[in-house]
């Protein structure tokens, strides 16, 4: 069954690895959903740092994924592939995509789509999947964060950071964060962080140690932060690495990991199996969508650009002036 999608559509392609100008409008064939998949007529698509890495040639899509950028989108189900039974044509969804979100139509596994949370617009809902799947799977499942624990997230004003602050707070954790300016720190405090540390002026290590250390740290910085994160952890603490903006090779004394029973772990979302992503989606529906419906977790949207202006959206992302998410309006 389908809404009779057209044969071709507008999309944004990466013409060659490079700066944001390599993102160019193009006309391509509308994808056809295969077994267990749905096709979404995209209303809004979220912009994420991994899109910029892919654009620069540093994060190749999995072989089976669309080469077009875009890891999340909201919209209406336009067609249902064979064997897919969860959604019907006309349903409003927001979905984690393996790629291809910067387009008028995108397809995904039916179990990676979620309903629009109560009270949210399609624009807001488009900004949830990539950060919610990433943050939940890393702080709750991998990091084992529980109520009452101290949680530190670096880059608190990022799309990931603004989600992590609110989610950890809603889970009952005490939230600490780092960010690069007074304005960004103020935004983190407004979202529920108990302490926002401007990393240009202050060292997060003694601040966390004075509190007894962090039980869970979510880090995207790496580099010089790696040994400092180890120092900032409480005994039995968990360090969860989701990126290495400052590099992944450092000299580290692992004795502390042994003596203080620390855990160092991490993950990337995109290469994980359909099964793993479907499991995360079930967790989000059960644990995180109610936070959104209650208003304790809301996407923070920095700015909106049209699909044709995807290059401008990436310039904004790379300026690091943004607080929260950047979204592309595709239709609607």
Ligand X SMILES: NC(=O)c1ccc[n+]([C@@H]2O[C@H](COP(=O)([O-])OP(=O)(O)OC[C@H]3O[C@@H](n4cnc5c(N)ncnc54)[C@H](OP(=O)(O)O)[C@@H]3O)[C@@H](O)[C@H]2O)c1
Tell me how long the chain is. 332
In the complex, minimum distance from the CB of residue 260 to ligand X, in angstroms, rounded to a whole number:
23
Classify 108 as helix, strand or coil: strand
In sequence order, the 6+-apart residues with CB closer than 8 A to the CB of 101 are: 42, 45, 46, 68, 69, 70, 71, 72, 73
In the complex, minimum distance from the CB of residue 47 to ligand X, in angstroms, rounded to a whole number:
8
C-alpha 304/C-alpha 281 separation (Å) is: 26
Among 184, 238, 277, 316, binds ligand X (CB under 6 A): 184
Among 105, 136, 176, 199, binds ligand X (CB under 6 A): 199
- Interface with ligand X includes 159 (CB under 6 A)? yes
The nearer residue to ligand X, 87 or 204, going by C-beta atoms, is 204
DSSP letter string over 33-59? --TTEEEEEEEEEEE-HHHHHHHTTSS
In the complex, minimum distance from the CB of residue 90 to ligand X, in angstroms, rounded to a whole number:
30
**Positions 202 through 261 that interact with ligand X (CB under 6 A):** 220-221, 242-243, 245
- Interface with ligand X includes 56 (CB under 6 A)? no
Q: Pick the closest to residue 177 from 139, 147, 151 (CA basis).
A: 151
From 102-110, 119-127, 143-151, 262-270, give the range in contact with ligand X by CB under 6 A. Answer: 262-270
The nearer residue to ligand X, 199 or 289, going by C-beta atoms, is 199
Among 78, 122, 168, 179, binds ligand X (CB under 6 A): 179
Asked whether 216 and 144 are in contact (CB, 8 A), the reply is: yes
- Residue 26, CA distances (Å) to 54, 73, 236 in order: 18, 19, 51
DSSP letter string over 196-255? EEETTT--HHHHHHHTT-EEEEEES--TTHHHHHHHHEEEEEEEEE---TT-S-----TH
From 103-111, 118-126, 178-186, 226-234, give the range in contact with ligand X by CB under 6 A. Answer: 178-186
**Positions 263 through 322 that interact with ligand X (CB under 6 A):** 267-269, 317, 320
The nearer residue to ligand X, 49 or 195, going by C-beta atoms, is 49
In sequence order, the 6+-apart residues with CB closer than 8 A to the CB of 167 are: 132, 135, 136, 139, 288, 291, 297
- Interface with ligand X includes 55 (CB under 6 A)? no
From 11-19, 48-56, 86-94, 97-105, give the range in contact with ligand X by CB under 6 A. Answer: 48-56
C-alpha 245/C-alpha 239 separation (Å) is: 16
The nearer residue to ligand X, 92 or 245, going by C-beta atoms, is 245
- Interface with ligand X includes 48 (CB under 6 A)? yes
The nearer residue to ligand X, 3 or 252, going by C-beta atoms, is 252
- Interface with ligand X includes 191 (CB under 6 A)? no
Dihedral sign for Cα 266, 67, 49, 117, please: negative
Among 31, 33, 50, 99, binds ligand X (CB under 6 A): 50
Across 201-227, b (16+ Cβ under 10 Å) vs e yields eeebbeebeebebbbbbbbbbbeebbe
Classify 115 as helix, strand or coil: strand
- Interface with ligand X includes 180 (CB under 6 A)? yes
In the complex, minimum distance from the CB of residue 31 to ligand X, in angstroms, rounded to a whole number:
23
In the complex, minimum distance from the CB of residue 324 to ligand X, in angstroms, rounded to a whole number:
8
Q: Which residues bind ligand X (CB under 6 A)?
A: 48-50, 130, 134, 154-155, 157-161, 178-180, 184, 199, 220-221, 242-243, 245, 267-269, 317, 320
């Amino acid at each position: 069954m389908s809404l009779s999608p057209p044969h071709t559509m507008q999309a944004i392609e990466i013409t060659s690895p490079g700066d944001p100008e390599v993102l160019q409008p193009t006309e391509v064939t509308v994808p056809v959903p295969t077994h267990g998949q749905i096709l979404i007529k995209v209303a809004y698509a979220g912009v994420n740092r991994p899109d910029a890495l892919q654009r620069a040639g540093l994060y190749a899509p999995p072989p089976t994924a669309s080469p077009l950028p875009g890891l999340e989108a909201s919209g209406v189900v336009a067609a249902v592939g064979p064997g897919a039974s969860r959604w019907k044509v006309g349903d409003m969804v927001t979905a984690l995509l393996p790629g291809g979100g910067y387009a008028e139509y995108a397809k995904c596994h039916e179990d990676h789509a979620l309903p629009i949370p109560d009270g949210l617009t399609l624009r807001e809902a488009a900004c949830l999947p990539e950060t919610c799947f990433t943050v939940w799977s890393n702080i709750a499942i991998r990091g084992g964060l529980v109520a009452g624990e101290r949680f530190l997230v670096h880059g608190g004003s990022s799309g990931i950071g603004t989600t992590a602050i609110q989610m950890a707070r809603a889970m009952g954790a005490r939230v600490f964060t780092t960010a690069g300016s007074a304005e960004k720190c103020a935004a983190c405090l407004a979202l529920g962080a108990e302490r926002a540390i401007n990393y240009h002026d202050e060292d997060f290590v003694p601040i966390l140690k004075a509190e007894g250390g962090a039980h869970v740290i979510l880090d995207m910085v790496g580099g010089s932060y790696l040994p400092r994160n180890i120092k900032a952890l409480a005994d039995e603490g968990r360090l969860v690495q989701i990126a290495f903006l400052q590099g992944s090779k450092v000299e580290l004394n692992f004795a502390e990991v042994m003596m203080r029973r620390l855990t160092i772990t991490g993950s990337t979302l995109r290469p994980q199996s359909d099964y793993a992503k479907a499991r995360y989606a079930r967790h989000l529906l059960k644990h995180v969508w109610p936070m959104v419906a209650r208003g304790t977790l809301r996407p923070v949207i920095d700015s909106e650009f049209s699909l044709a202006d995807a290059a401008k959206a990436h310039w904004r992302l790379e300026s690091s002036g943004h607080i929260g998410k950047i979204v592309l309006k595709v239709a609607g």
